[in-house]
Structure 1
Amino acid sequence: MGGTGAERLADALSELEVDVAFGLPGVHNLPAWNALPAKGIRLLGVRHEQAAGFAADGYARTTGRLGVAVVTTGPGAANTLAAVGEAQASASPVLVLATDIPSTLRRPGTVRGVLHETSDQQALFAPVTKAAFTVDHPDAIASVVRRAGRLALRPQSGPVYVGIPTDFLSQEADDPFPAEPTEVLHAVDVADLLRAREVLITAERPLIWAGGGALRAGAGEAVGQLAEKLAAPVITTYASRGIVPPDHPCRASNPVHTPEVGALWDEADVVLAIGTDFDGMMTQNWRMPRPRRLIAVNVDPADAAKNYPPDLLLRGDAREVTERLLAGMPQRPGLEELSRRLDEIELRVRRRVRKEEPQAAEFLSALGETLPDDAVLVSDMCVAGYWLGGFYRVAAPRKLAYPMGWGTLGFGFPASLGVATAGVGRAVCITGDGGFLYGVGELATAIQENLPITVVVVDDGGYGMLRYDQTRAGLPNEGVDLVTPDFVGLAKSFGIYADRVDGFGRAFRRLLREFTRADEPNVLVVSAELSPPLNTSPRWYRR
């Protein structure tokens, strides 16, 4: 097969069913900018390489498919690192394709001063990726890219880096290496499966804890059915919001950080943990007591055992294992009683929210009542986003992108670019005034590509979460009160329609309904200051 290295790159991406990539052109990667569109791959240009990484992540979270970032050498590649770290912490299948300096100019052990040269560009990505590769010959481009893409998608998914010396893109390249067969996931041990089923059948108060691995495996329906059979409440992590529908009789719809939901954990005599690692942000830094008995379902035994060691590990795909547990599971009594209790917990938590933070209650209610059914919410690291990640009733899987893997400020708006290209609904970004300024230049991308995005900027004049921390500790407010621009005027300077309201009342609802049904990008600025919710660390109730 004849052609250039850039064409082989495009062929490999096509084999991986990539139809869109995000990037920024540079002198070293220009051949890719010609080759990818020629193969039918949309290459969406951003204004900063970090945005390319976040956009690829947003696309991956929304679709479950491979998100691709195409960036140039040296500083261009390095600019993606924060976004790649977030993708790793959130297990997003992102492929970073970066050029490197020409192979003919590289001298091992010496940095010669070539344009964009790094002593070891691949090594930059080692701490924040699942794997990293550098292509050593033009003929290897296709095989390395195929391998990297499949590795990124393979559970547990995560970002993978591929570096390609820039001269390889223009050279003649073949594809002599056959595609590797898809690796089969480990099959669950039958004896362990039978033991787990017996433990669940005889449990008095079973509980299901569903994590991001369960959502990514498409295990939601099986999880919901198993919960009904067991009459077991389902607690979801940030990464699995929406895995069971809001009206499911076993869904605990509020975060485990509330005492009312936390009591379900404390009472459980058996916890079935599906696709989770029990990270610090969900467990209040492991102040939650270890379950009396813990059954873990996970593709990675080390991941399953690193925080709360399980009594029984079912190694395998979350959906397959859950479906096999479900097969033949008898119906336990108590489903109606559980449903009534969860309704009462929901009522008590909502009353608490209305009493402690009526503006947050109004904000959550406005979103729930006005957003289109197909909207995808994208949160940034801000107080409004924390309320969203913990308390919003997410309607379906992959309808909330929340960066509580690494906790990366500035994620929201650039990730929305990727969400908006997925064709699954309007991206609605909830961000603060501080986080929005990280990537505000991407307004140019949004208008140039006419992306279906509504950005809701909650403007409290600075870093509201940090201001709260300082005030609570009795410290003066230093570094948290910011000079911010006229966001409405700024958006309009890009040609984007924008408006401003005070608070989350009727005017906010009216404009949010109007904005989220538009055909073009827009920005809605809300002047409001919210207090942090119970799922933020200063307010954790376990001490």
Structure 2
Amino acid sequence: MSQRPLGAQISHMLKSRGVDVIFGIPGVHNQEMYRGIEEAGITHVLARHEQGAGFMADGYARASGKPGVAYIITGPGLCNIMTPLGQAYSDSVPVLAISSCLDETARRRGQLHQMLDQEAAGACVCEWSLEARDAESAYGLIDRALTEFATGRKRPRHIQVPIRALEGLADAPPAELPCLQTETRPVAAAERIVAALKASERPMFVFGGGAVEGAKDWKAVVEQAGAASFTTYAGRGVAAGHALDFGAYLARPESAGMIAKADLVIAVGTELSEVDLWRDELGHEGRFIRVDIDPEVLRAASGTELAFQADAAALAREILSVGGFEAEAGWREADVAAAKARWRAESDAERPGIVPICDALRDVLPGDTMFYSDMTQFAYTAKEVWPMDRPGHWHHPFGFGTLGYALPAAIGGAVARAGKPTLCIAGDYGFQYTIQELATAVELRLPLPILLWDNGKLKEIEDSMVRAQIAPKAVDQINPDFVALAKAYGAYAEKPESPEGVAQGVMTAFEADGPTLIHVTPAVSA
């Protein structure tokens, strides 16, 4: 068909650009976008709330490496997905939200789903939020978003299309754009970094999420250079198996002293933000080099001597190509191991009962398990003490720090990785933000274990109040019978009594024909 309603043409265009799955909820305002989904051969996942749809798209994008796409209605639909879009912005995740919008809002008030400025609302949490008033504009903005996802920092975009435009007949979208050859060889940056490594006796790398795609090459760089390394939480696994890797313990105060011992620190693909360090300064005293695809963050840290805007993976390959920086380690493996043992013990003491469960799980989980965790004490401990043997396999709402992320994001990840193990980790409070998405997991018959850490309160907030000498207030809550509630949704559920029982429950859940809630309390490790 040369002409279809624009809403249908959009689905056909997305399919031609490689989009296989769309997350969303239909409504009277965006129903035209649903006209072409089945005809285009796209799978639609029905969320129970637009917040869930956004997190599913986020989880799908992180697991697949492809953009996550969500169809959203006017007004409240856009408002409901703003939290997931904010999280995707913070964590550099390529999510494309396409919503309907009213045809006219300046003259007429009181319309269904009317907002004062929907486009501006989307712009608060996206790289950009723009209105496409006709087919040509819609096609152009979709291609712009997909091109920017492929060539720059992967942050969410929002496109809104007036209802009348969605309903109107439109010509077919243009043919897919030719494949972009975007990689350039960062020769000068590589040569400067190699020269710095040659002049260094105790080099150190700090890897963030931006280094994940080039992890194998960066590990080769640190090993050849005899360098030590730290990773941010998002960068865990980049230097997996490297004997001089301090792991994801940057937030430990003592890490600043370790970093101060380096005569050269190279930070790759990391903002070194508050949620990476939990202090104002990294701690470096020697030379400091930064590498990032985003120029905005290159000079954000004090003491930066050199800053290179470059794709991290391409730069690692170029450094190895230049070569000639092999060195004996100025760091002692025993010192690195001792520091990690101290920090693990500190983490265990701060939040008792979690480390034994992590250890039991690590003993049995398949190596390619992908994790999605929420803002919960279990995840705060696991992010430090659980060394990942591969990068890009633990996803968490790092920067924006929203509750309710884990379950819907894990659903999106499980959809992207059909047949591969996916594990959801949530706390008792945050789980209730998006618990309704359990129905989606049941509907899709996903073999998804959901480890629910239930300490009966907002324990992290209670601890923070106590440290601030504030009498704990509003941190205790009445929880439902989670096992019964999960079964009411049609899911499986169990309540193990030991760390080994938790591990066995997760392994059994991987083989089930639907999701399994595994209810875990601190008493399990008592």
Once the two structures are TM-superposed, the CA of residue 280 in structure 1 deviates from its matched residue by 1.1
Whole-angstrom CA distance in 2 between matches of 1:478 and 1:88: 32
Distance 1:79 1:270, change over 3 A: same
Whole-angstrom CA distance in 2 between matches of 1:377 and 1:110: 49
Once the two structures are TM-superposed, the CA of residue 469 in structure 1 deviates from its matched residue by 1.3
Once the two structures are TM-superposed, the CA of residue 9 in structure 1 deviates from its matched residue by 0.5
Q: Which amino acid aligns with 1:322?
A: A
Distance 1:138 1:357, change over 3 A: closer
* Secondary structure at 2:170 match in 1: coil
CA contact (8 A) 1:379 1:388 kept: no
CA contact (8 A) 2:227 2:331 kept: no
Q: Which residue of 2 aligns with 1:166?
A: 163
Q: 1:475 aligns with which of 470, 475, 481?
A: 470
Q: 1:493 aligns with which of 488, 495, 509?
A: 488
* Ranges in structure 1 where 5+ consecutive residues have no aligned partner: 532-543
The CA deviation string for residues 98-143 of structure 1, in whole angstroms up to 9 with x for no partner, is 1112x3xx15x33422211223211001121111111111343222
Whole-angstrom CA distance in 2 between matches of 1:285 and 1:438: 29
* Secondary structure at 1:506 match in 2: helix
Q: 2:211 aligns with which of 206, 214, 220?
A: 214
The CA deviation string for residues 142-182 of structure 1, in whole angstroms up to 9 with x for no partner, is 22212223223432110000001122222211247676666
Whole-angstrom CA distance in 1 between matches of 2:179 and 2:366: 38
Once the two structures are TM-superposed, the CA of residue 323 in structure 1 deviates from its matched residue by 1.4
Whole-angstrom CA distance in 2 between matches of 1:360 and 1:524: 15
Once the two structures are TM-superposed, the CA of residue 291 in structure 1 deviates from its matched residue by 4.4
Q: Which amino acid aligns with 1:414?
A: P
Distance 1:80 1:446, change over 3 A: same
Whole-angstrom CA distance in 2 between matches of 1:355 and 1:190: 47
Whole-angstrom CA distance in 2 between matches of 1:203 and 1:336: 9
The CA deviation string for residues 424-480 of structure 1, in whole angstroms up to 9 with x for no partner, is 622211111100000111111110111231111111112111111123333322111
Q: Which amino acid aligns with 1:116?
A: H
Q: Which amino acid aligns with 1:225?
A: A
Distance 1:343 1:289, change over 3 A: closer
* Secondary structure at 2:322 match in 1: coil
Matches within 5 A, 1:404-443: 404-423=398-417, 425-443=420-438
* Secondary structure at 1:387 match in 2: helix
Q: Which residue of 2 aligns with 1:27?
A: 28
CA contact (8 A) 1:5 1:139 kept: no
Once the two structures are TM-superposed, the CA of residue 385 in structure 1 deviates from its matched residue by 1.3
Length-normalised TM-score, structure 1: 0.90
The CA deviation string for residues 343-400 of structure 1, in whole angstroms up to 9 with x for no partner, is 3333343444455655122022022112232221111001111112222122222210
Q: 1:278 aligns with which of 272, 281, 303?
A: 272
Distance 1:187 1:286, change over 3 A: farther
Whole-angstrom CA distance in 2 between matches of 1:250 and 1:153: 33
Once the two structures are TM-superposed, the CA of residue 486 in structure 1 deviates from its matched residue by 0.3
CA contact (8 A) 1:71 1:97 kept: yes
CA contact (8 A) 1:142 1:175 kept: no
The CA deviation string for residues 38-97 of structure 1, in whole angstroms up to 9 with x for no partner, is 211111000000011111111111122101111111111110011100100000000001
Q: Which residue of 1 aligns with 2:60?
A: 59
* Ranges in structure 2 where 5+ consecutive residues have no aligned partner: none
* Secondary structure at 1:79 match in 2: helix
Whole-angstrom CA distance in 1 between matches of 2:203 and 2:132: 50
Q: 2:244 aligns with which of 221, 245, 250?
A: 250
Whole-angstrom CA distance in 2 between matches of 1:21 and 1:123: 24
Q: Which residue of 2 aligns with 1:394?
A: 388
Once the two structures are TM-superposed, the CA of residue 244 in structure 1 deviates from its matched residue by 3.0
1:445 paired to 2:403: no
Whole-angstrom CA distance in 2 between matches of 1:350 and 1:177: 55
Distance 1:191 1:395, change over 3 A: closer
Q: Which residue of 2 aligns with 1:330?
A: 324
Q: Which residue of 1 aligns with 2:95?
A: 94
Q: Which moved more, 1:148-157 or 1:201-210?
A: 148-157
* Secondary structure at 1:397 match in 2: coil
Whole-angstrom CA distance in 2 between matches of 1:438 and 1:459: 14
Whole-angstrom CA distance in 2 between matches of 1:441 and 1:176: 36
1:12 paired to 2:6: no
Q: 1:147 aligns with which of 136, 144, 148?
A: 144
CA contact (8 A) 2:355 2:381 kept: no
Whole-angstrom CA distance in 1 between matches of 2:116 and 2:69: 24
Distance 1:292 1:183, change over 3 A: farther
* Secondary structure at 1:437 match in 2: helix
Q: Percent identity?
A: 30
* Secondary structure at 1:235 match in 2: strand
Once the two structures are TM-superposed, the CA of residue 16 in structure 1 deviates from its matched residue by 2.7
* Secondary structure at 1:128 match in 2: coil
Once the two structures are TM-superposed, the CA of residue 237 in structure 1 deviates from its matched residue by 1.0
Whole-angstrom CA distance in 1 between matches of 2:173 and 2:57: 29
Q: Which moved more, 1:173-182 or 1:36-45?
A: 173-182
Once the two structures are TM-superposed, the CA of residue 329 in structure 1 deviates from its matched residue by 2.2
1:367 paired to 2:325: no
Q: Which moved more, 1:63-72 or 1:180-189?
A: 180-189
* Secondary structure at 2:433 match in 1: coil
Whole-angstrom CA distance in 2 between matches of 1:70 and 1:291: 49
CA contact (8 A) 2:25 2:46 kept: yes
Matches within 5 A, 1:227-238: 227-238=222-233
* Secondary structure at 1:415 match in 2: helix
